[in-house]
Structure formats: structure tokens, C-alpha cells
Chains A and B, each alone.
Chain A
Amino acid sequence: MARKNFDVSSLMQSKVTWAVIAELLILLVCFIIRPDFFSISYQPSTGMLYGSLIDIVNRSAEITIISMGMTLVIALGGTDLSVGALVAVAGAIALKFLRWDVLTYNTPGDYTVCPYIFVLTVPLIVCALMGLFNGFLVAKGGIQPIIATLILMVCGRGVAQILTDGKQFTTGYSPFRIIGQGSFLYLPMPIIITILVVLGVAIFTRKTAFGAFVESVGVNPSASRLSGIKADTVILIVFMITGLLSGIAGLIYSSRIMSNDSNNAGLNFEMDAILAVVIGGTNMSGGKFSLAGTVIGSLIIRTIVTFVYYFGIVAEATMAFKALIIAVVIVLQSQPVREYFAKRAARRGGESR
């Protein structure tokens, strides 16, 4: 009995619980207003399933992928502001390799100029290296992560623009289209990639000691160094992973639009990713992290956007609704409110006993 009371109380204390409740509530409102919100249909011509839920998961892919890395960075007690700029860089490099010849062939056809393997690997390698640069500044330079990553955030888009000479290339290369618009097992490709990334990060952090290292460094770097954890190496790896994941998100984004858009690709992604992580229950001061919570956080953000689109409100105004709903979630999750509910739950448990 006592055990059960404890569970209710800790469940009320958990931020992830509140995130799940919030997501379910938003979905419920969607369902009440539009009963067909949950319907999923099969489109034989493309071999894909269609429906609002599929669309939410599909469109949240970039943010979910980035926020997997961001979760680890925030668990370390930092933030990575450069991810949005890295998305632009990845797109710029990929399109540069696909359309190097833009002056000679003006029609975006089904061809690539450089071998396709370069199109896929070079952006990822460059983004991982940029992540490593962030990690180097934080680990070896001892600089606050928020400022260290501000550097690449400020100049990353400049790099992307200069790589492409300020031009916007478009392409029609079909293998590249698969990344963002293809399908596999009836599901859109971005969902498959997201599942692979989430599983990969989860296995890497939870099946090895790496996750525990990250949490330990996030709570107290010097104590973990004294207990034999190489804090610097952990930081370097985490920032490199985040860079790499931003690169993957960049490829998905540019494959969706089959173009590079150095001004708008990944705009505000860092903000959305940080929000997803925080809504998912990871504390910004570092320590324990929850990858499942982050996935839910990312879904909440996308559900809000889809919700607003559905009811015909202008696209740019989504932000106001996003802000209102996020404000409610954040207030519900804030320490005083959670303590209040936990206390009430504990008291009620005591009475029933």
C-alpha cells in the first residue's frame, strides 16, 4: 500500500507524465473538433499510409532527430545553439555536390554531378566536425556551451551562403528524393530514419555506460573527473553526435524541398529542439535525461502546429498558439506546481489508507 502511494506521488512529480498528459489532451481536443483526425488511409500509388497522425510524426522528424543530440547536450548542463545553422550547412553542401555544374545545366534533372556517396557523407562529416569544434571549445577551452555554440550559430549560415555563392540550387535526383519523400514499410522515410536514430542513441546511451557518464558529468564535472570519467572526451563525443544528427536532419530537410535554402533551412530549429527536450522533462541544469520524454516533447510541438494548420489559422500565427500551449505545459511542469500536486496526491493516498 505504502509502495503504491509512493508511486502515485512520484508519478505526479515526474515531468514526463505531464508531457504525456499534455500530448493526450491536445490530441483529444483535435479529436473532439475533427473526429476524422485519427483516420489513417493507405495510398496504393505511393505505397504510403496517410493521415494526420502519420503527418505529425513525419514532420517532427528533423526536430526529433536533432533533439536526441540536444538531450545529451542539455544533460551535460549545456545548450547547442548551432544546430539550425548546421542544418543549413548540410543542405548547402549536399546541393553543391548534386548541382556543381549549375552554370552549364540549368534544368534540375534526375542526375548528380558528384558520386552520390559524397552527397550523403560529406555533409555529415562536415557537420560532425563542426560539432567537434563546439565540443573542443567547451571541453578544452572551458567556455560556456551557450557562447561556444553561438559562434557557429552566427557564422554557420554565412558559411552555407558562401559555399553556394549565395545561390539557391534545385535538383531532381531521385535517390536524393527518397530521403525526405520516399517510403519504406508503408511509412514515410523520415519516420524510419527517426526510429533508427532514436534506437541508435538509446542503445548507445542506455546499453553502454555512456549515458551514465553524461549524467555524471552534467551533475558535477570535477567529481566525475576525479572518479575516473574522462569528462572532456564525453563532452567531445556528445557535441559531435549533435553535429552529426543536425547533418542528418539537414539532409532530410533539403530532400523534402529538393533544394538548399541557407536563409530558412533549420530556422529556429535550435529553439524547437531545446523546447522539446525541456518539455520532455530533462532539466536544463543538467543531470538525468529522458530520451522518451524528448520524443514526446517533439511530438507535442508538431501536434500544436498541425492542430493550428487544421483550423485554417495563418501559418505564421502558429507561434502564438505554440507559445500559449507551451506556457501551460511549462507552468504545469514547474517545480512549485509539481510539488503542490505531488503533495495533494500523497495526502489523498494517506487519507484512503
Chain B
Amino acid sequence: MTNNRQSILSKLTNPKYIMVYATIGIFFVIYAFGAFMYGDKGFMTVRTFVNLFIDNAYFGISAVGMTMVLITGGIDLSVGAVASLTGMFIAYGTTVLGLHPMTCIFAALVMGVGLGLLMGWVIHYLNVPPFITTLTGMFFARGVCSLISRESIDIHHPMIDALAGWKIYLMKYSAGHWVRIRPIAFINFNVILFVVMIIAGTFILQRTRFGRNIYAIGGNEQSASLMGLPVGRTKVLVYGFNGLCSVLAGISYALYVKSGWNLSLQGGELEVITCAVIGGTLLTGGVGYMIGTLFGVLLKSVIPALITFNGNLLSWWGKIATGGLLLLFICIQRFVVTSSARKK
């Protein structure tokens, strides 16, 4: 029994989790700072916390796929454009062509997953660097967006309205019956999708053969291939899965803003990569956890929240703070990597 507990303890103190702990720790430090500074303005409420999820669900959903791509040692720059294209599909399809949203979503899924699989194939079998391949994919998706329409299109469809308006109010038990907590906080479809994707991503990475192959390829692609692992298939599927995540992120974003615009989510791919890096994923591949990515998203989204609560700062400070955070995390990563290398 004691032995078992020790093994759990030693598992938890494994140095490979240090980055995840650092992310979680810094998130709580910044959150506590916000609570201390703006607690009287309502920073501490459940509503503010839940809003971190609601306002950034689309980044989070995309970050799940991005984390996997980064673990294989690749990169995907097309996610923002593919998500934007999904929004355009839904908006143009329902509003202009009068199609059912499910048809549009299905078309977007085919497009996103197909593009992802194609890019994975080019990366592995034609040996083109991921950066260039997915950059071309980004240009392509962005260009098609503009071919569809250069104007922002509103989405009006009963099903989309119902899905976007659907919410679960958070309740508390007081004086014998359940009442909505004040200020009112709710969870919507996007938040549930985000959490489900994080759980699914964790399961795939930690509990399936596919997930172990991903880590093996990121650790050393050549050894993985010599060990007889299906390197090509895994890489192609990872990019396909990331395409799926981009489409889901696009749906989530379309529900969030209820419109499609050809220039929406511009630069979104770098925000997503930033979330993953802050969450402890190494761009060299082989290291990364979904839980880290989750807190990476929260950490990145708590900064704009702080700036909003402050009310006097230009929103540009948010970018600078994100850059500072990146620098901090890279230094921590660097320190962890060198100190663990020294131990060996």
C-alpha cells in the first residue's frame, strides 16, 4: 500500500511534469493577483472564471489538435484560416444559399479534414517542411474565404440560434431549493465542446497506441520508424485530426460571433501555438500534455480579462504581456531542459 502511494508520488514529481506545474502555478499567481487588485469589482466571481472558457473556447478547441501536431515535431499554420473558412461555409450556406446548417458543417468537415490529411501526406511523403506546407494551406483557405465573400455575413437560422442560445445556468442550493447563482453564470455549447475535446485529447495521447506513436515520433522520428511504428500513417492522421479540431473551432467561433467574415481569426494560428507553448509543449517535439494546454489557454485569456478589469490600459498591453509570458516560459523550459540534461 505504502509502495503504491510512493509510486503515485514519484509519478507526480516526475520532472517531465514541471512545465505543466509551472503553467498551473503561474495561472493561479496571476489569478490571485487579479483577485487581490480587482476582487471588489467582481474578479473573484464564478462568472468571470466561466467567461474565461466562454470567450476562448475556440482557441482551446484548436489548441487540442495543435498540441498533438507540435508533439510530433511539426507545426500547423493553417488552423486560423480553416476555422475562418468553416465560418464562411456556415454563414454563406445558411444565409445566402439557404442550406441546412448540418449540410454546411458536413461540407466544412470534409474540407477541413481533407485539407489536413492532404497536408500531412505532402509533409511526410514529399518531405516538404511542415511550416511551408501548412503556410500554403493557410494561404489557400484564406483565399477561398475571400472568393466566397469579402463582406461579413450574418448567420440567421433557427438551429444555429438555438445552439448558440442554449445554456446551462450554474445553480446553488440555498434555503431548501436550487437558485441561480449571482451574478448569473452559465455554461454554453462551446464550453462543453472545449472540455470534451480536452478530455478526448488526453485520452488519445495517454491511453491509445496512436497517442504513444505520436510521442515516439516527436522523440525521434527515425527511431520510431526503425522500431516499426507506422510513422507516415500517424503523421497524416495527426494533421487530419488537427483539421477536424480547426473545423470544430470554426463552428464554435461561428456560434460565438454568429457571423462569417473572410478576415476573422487572422493570426489565430499563432495565438493557438502560443497557448500550447505556454502550456509546456516543446516545439522540438516529444513533450506536451493536454492539461498544460488547457491551463495555457486559461493563462493567455486571463491577461485580457485583467486589462478589461483595470479599464485604463490600452488593450495593446495585452500583446506585450503575452510576449513577456512567452519569454518567461521559454526561460523556465530552457532551465528545466538544461538541468535535467545535466542530471543525466
Residues of chain A touching chain B, judged by Cβ–Cβ distance below 8 Å, are 79, 81, 137, 141-144, 146-148, 150-159, 161-162, 165-166, 271, 274-275, 278, 284-285, 314, 316-324, 326-327, 330-331, 334-337
Contact = CB atoms under 8 A, between A and B. Distances in A.
B203 interface: no
Contact of B274 (A137, A154, A322): A154
B283 A334 contact: no
Max chain B C-beta neighbours (<10 A), residue from A79, A155, A161, A331: A155
Nearest to A326: B136
A314 B145 CA distance: 12
B330 A326 contact: no
A253 to B, nearest CB: 18
B319 A154 contact: yes
Given A319-B140, A324-B140, A162 B320 contact: yes
B271 to A, nearest CB: 8
Contacts of B77: 271
Contacts of A153: 270
Given A158-B320, A323-B138, A331-B128, 5 more contacts: A158-B318, A275-B132, A278-B129, A323-B136, A334-B122
A127 B334 CA distance: 25
Main secondary structure of the interface of B (DSSP, over half): helix
Contacts of A335: 126-127
B327 interface: yes
A271 B135 contact: yes
Given A275-B132, A275-B135, A152 B323 contact: yes
A218 B338 CA distance: 22
Nearest to A333: B128
Contacts of A322: 139, 143
A148 B133 CA distance: 22
A113 to B, nearest CB: 23
Contact of B137 (A144, A151, A323): A323
A284 B131 contact: yes
A158 B77 CA distance: 21
Size category of the binding interface on chain B: 35 or more
Contacts of B122: 330-331, 334
A330 B132 contact: yes
B173 interface: no
Max chain B C-beta neighbours (<10 A), residue from A146, A152, A154: A154
Max chain B C-beta neighbours (<10 A), residue from A143, A150, A162, A319: A319
A265 B331 CA distance: 30
A259 to B, nearest CB: 18
Interface of B: 75, 77, 122, 125-129, 131-133, 135-140, 142-147, 150, 262-263, 270, 273-274, 277, 283-284, 314, 316-324, 326-327, 330-331, 334, 338
A143 B330 contact: yes
B132 A155 contact: no
Contact of A147 (B131, B150, B319, B330): B330
A118 B320 CA distance: 25
User: Lowest 6 CB-CB distances: which A-B pairs, in order?
Assistant: A320-B143, A155-B323, A158-B319, A316-B146, A319-B143, A323-B140
A162 B317 contact: yes
Contact of B277 (A79, A150, A161, A165): A150
A148 B284 CA distance: 13
Nearest to B133: A330
Contacts of B318: 158
A316 B262 contact: yes
Nearest to B322: A154
Given A158-B317, A158-B320, A319 B139 contact: yes
A334 B320 contact: no
A314 B263 CA distance: 14
A320 B316 contact: no
Contacts of B150: 314, 316
A317 B270 contact: no
A275 B77 CA distance: 13
B320 A320 contact: no
12 contacts: A137-B330, A143-B334, A151-B326, A155-B324, A157-B319, A158-B319, A274-B135, A284-B132, A316-B143, A316-B145, A321-B143, A330-B128
Contacts of B136: 323, 326-327, 330
A165 B146 CA distance: 31
Contacts of A285: 129
B334 A319 contact: no
A326 B139 contact: yes
Contacts of B317: 158, 162
B272 to A, nearest CB: 12
